[in-house]
Structure 1
């Protein structure tokens, strides 16, 4: 399992957002892009939020909040574990796993940009690992070999 917190979230949740996937249509893709362009904020507790109040009030924004705050990994250790699982993943990623990996990569880039010198390198390395995993996934049908 690539995102174990999604499993835990499924068991604990009684809401309709049991396994949210943000991108089910081109409009959803555009909305996700708008969320990211509108500027996100990460507070001291590592909660991610959309700064634009109007966008943040949309139903898709609630799903975005769930994925970003309850499912994607936030610590460098968890992100490294995800990268290791991705490197050993034997097939193409499911849509929700690809999406969550992209959002983890966005979070990692954000943290790298806002880290002090000695902290930048681990975040940058994690970003590169996630990038390589996504590139491998996009090229999977051509390569058909594990990522190393």
Structure 2
């Protein structure tokens, strides 16, 4: 009997590690593969203070657009766009956020399965993904695409709403 307990412990530890890895699965894996090569941009986040939150709100109110193509983030207000801190927001919008509907559906499925609250980095990225999806929805004309993007927007909204509810 004494010879089986090491196998039992190894089996338990293997299951524990597999479960822990599943819970740590990155919602935004591209945040760890930034194309620009700067170490400081690995897992980038924009909001680090109340001033950053206010700045993001101001940028969104000024009409920031997250689009596909070569220049994916556009800020109409040139003064806001020229701010040095906006560089990280640009990296997040261009390199981290999912842009394809299939990627956003994968994200919403992962968000629906989550039991624990989002990290502040994932919350920020989910909010920006919601902004992108809503802006994309506004420009879609075909009914099937419109329905698919509407569903994605609603799923992202529900995930954010679920995260904001007190536990």
Q: Return the alpha-carbon distance in structure 2 between the equivalents of residues 23 and 37 of structure 1.
A: 16
Judged with a 3 Å threshold, the aligned counterparts in structure 2 of structure 1 residues 93 and 43 are, in CA distance, closer, same or farther, namely: closer
C-alpha separation between the residues in 2 aligned to 1:44 and 1:90? 32
Select the residue among 98, 103, 118 that pairs with 1:73: 98
Q: Which runs of 4+ in 1 moved over 3 A?
A: 41-44
Given that residues 66 and 132 in structure 2 are in contact (C-alpha distance below 8 angstroms), is that contact kept between their aligned partners in structure 1? Answer: no
Aligned partner of residue 77 in structure 1, secondary structure: helix
Q: In the TM superposition, what is the alpha-carbon distance from 1:15 to its structure 2 partner?
A: 4.5
* 1:19 Cα offset (Å): 2.3
Q: Of the two, which has the highest radius of gyration?
A: 2
* CA RMSD between the two structures: 1.8
Q: TM-score, normalised by structure 2?
A: 0.77
Q: TM-score, normalised by structure 1?
A: 0.86
The counterpart of 2:158, out of the listed 132, 137, 142, is: 132
Q: Which residue of 2 is the match for residue 25 of structure 1?
A: 49
Measure, in 1, the Cα distance between the counterparts of 2:68 and 2:46: 25
- Choose the corresponding residue for 2:113, options 63, 84, 88: 88
Q: Tell me the distance in 1 between the aligned counterparts of 2:68 and 2:154.
A: 24
Unaligned runs of 5+ in 2: 1-25
Q: Which runs of 5+ in 1 are unaligned?
A: 143-148
> 2:149 aligns to what?
123
CA drift at 1:57: 1.0
CA contact (8 A) 2:27 2:122 kept: yes
Q: Check 1:103–1:44 CA distance in 2 against 1; reply closer, same or farther (3 A cut).
A: closer
